[in-house]
Structure 1
Amino acid sequence: MPESTDDRAGTDDGGNLPSPSNRILTVPNALSVLRLALIPVFVWLLLVEEAYAWAFWILMFSGFSDWADGKLARLLNQYSRIGELLDPLADRLYIVIIPIAFGIEGFVPWWLIAIIIGRDVALFAMGPLLRSRGLLALPTLYIGKAATFALMSAFPWLLAGQLDSVVGTVCYPIGWAFMIWGVGLYLWSFVLYAYQTVLVLVRLPPRTASSGHIN
């Protein structure tokens, strides 16, 4: 995928990016693995058991752990190459699977789900174009991070909005406010990433077999 969405990237006191290690057993990686493991649990609770309260708390934990693993990676200096893959993988799976589950339950219209998923599919399709110029990913845009944050915030609010109570009445419009904001930022970030991809294709020559490999 051309978009690098790992929030664990940071700088040390000298302003340099810390070098990721080959460590696997780290606290941030454990949180990312737990987030991935909770995806099928969430789907089962929502679609099979219709235990909305438990599904809600899984979303809350996932959102908190998504924030915490980046902070802990910086605090504990536990950057790792596998972490750079696990964290954005968990984000993308949540962004795809949760809207589909919400669509099945009738919480979100399918046309909106198609926009969210279609944007990620279109970004993924840009990958070969970037690799043809020797790049693996585009620099992360903070508007893309803001879009992901808004969407991940919208899901628990919308789920709480299904409660037939005052809590549901309050949470429902808040959830849709985050959803509209997130989808708007999601589309705008796609436009920016597409523009960057065009610039890469125009300004960089095609990579030849003699150009070597990117480590």
Structure 2
Amino acid sequence: MAEPDVHSPAPSGVVPEHRGWGTVPNLITLVRLVVCVPLICWLVLGTDERAWTAVALVVFGATDWVDGYLARRTHTVSDVGIWLDPLADRLGITLILLAMTVAGLVPWWMLGTVLVVDAVVFLAGLVWRSRMALMRASWAGKARTALIMVALPALLLGDSTLPVAGALALVGLLCFGLGAVLHALAGVGYVLRLAGRRGEELTAGTPLL
């Protein structure tokens, strides 16, 4: 079987229309990574502003949807954006989770779960890098991200003086627990695809794994 072309259609089935990086969606993605993430980490580690930190986390999550939406609506899907967007998501969530773990806001198992799964998928990508052009987000991966982005603000506000802080902390733990399970399932699915165990043609819809 011939190796996939590095300029194959985007994982979602959308053909990249720009080879460079100079698009508005890519700018939003960069802002999310180089502005939002350091700001959130500073707020977590250097201040007690839990409410404002939660707002910054909501902005971080919202920009993930905005950049993809704009890329599709304005026909500015790019090669750079295809890999930059998931990189910003995974690296951003990991760094934020690390800051919250160091601050004692979340248990270490949360960080460990994310790091172990991401490390396995990363190593699989190195081994089967010729198949990376076939990859795309699964439903498990999308649901995982949504649950974690609900869990993190809830855990932050669970450390506040709000009357419902205890309930929010419980919601955060439950959401992250389910998100961790889906994270592991998504990781298994990605590795199986990279290894060629889930079929060669990966463009007919987004499967669970």
Q: TM class by shorter-chain length?
A: 0.7 to 0.9
Q: Which structure 1 residue ranges, 5 or more long, are not aligned?
A: 1-7, 12-16, 204-215
Return closer, same or farther for 1:22/1:117 CA change in 2, 3 Å cut-off: same
Is contact 2:43-2:49 (8 Å) kept? Answer: yes
Per-residue CA deviations over 1:22-79 (Å, capped at 9, x if unaligned) read 3433221121111112211111111012322221111010111111111111111111
2:6 maps to which residue?
none
Distance 2:142 2:110 in 1: 19
Partners in 2 of 1:74 and 1:146 — Cα distance? 21
**Bigger radius of gyration among the two:** 1
Contact 1:63/1:153 (<8 A) preserved = no
2:176 maps to a residue whose letter is M
Q: Is the 8 A contact 2:26 2:67 kept in 1?
A: yes
Question: What is the aligned partner in structure 1 of residue 106 from structure 2?
Answer: 108
Q: Secondary structure at the match of 1:78?
A: coil
Aligned to 2:5: none
Q: Return the offset for 1:121.
A: 0.7
Give 1:21's aligned amino acid.
Answer: H
Aligned to 1:186: 183
Report what 1:135 is aligned to: 131
Once the two structures are superposed, residues 140-195 of structure 1 have per-residue CA deviations (whole angstroms, 9 ceiling, x without a partner) of: 22211221221122111111121122242332222122101110100111222233
Count of residues in Structure 1 that have an aligned counterpart in Structure 2: 189
**Unaligned 5+ residue runs, structure 2?**
1-9, 201-209
2:124 is matched with 126
Give the secondary structure class of the aligned counterpart of 2:160: coil
- Do 2:144 and 2:182's aligned partners in 1 also have CA atoms closer than 8 Å? yes
Q: Pick from 74, 77, 91: which aligns with 2:75?
A: 77
CA distance in 2, matches of 1:128, 1:22: 23
| TM-score normalised to structure 1 length | 0.78
Q: Secondary structure at the match of 1:50?
A: coil
Secondary structure in 2 matching 1:57: helix
The residue that corresponds to 2:7 in the other structure is none
Contact 2:11 2:134 in 1 (8 A): no
Identity over aligned pairs, percent: 33
Amino acid paired to 1:32: T
What are the superposed Cα offsets for residues 97-147 of structure 1, whole Å, 9 maximum, x if unpaired? 11111111112111231111111011101122213xx32255322211221
Q: What's the Cα RMSD here? A: 2.4
User: In 1, are the aligned partners of 2:25 and 2:71 still within 8 Å (CA)?
Assistant: yes
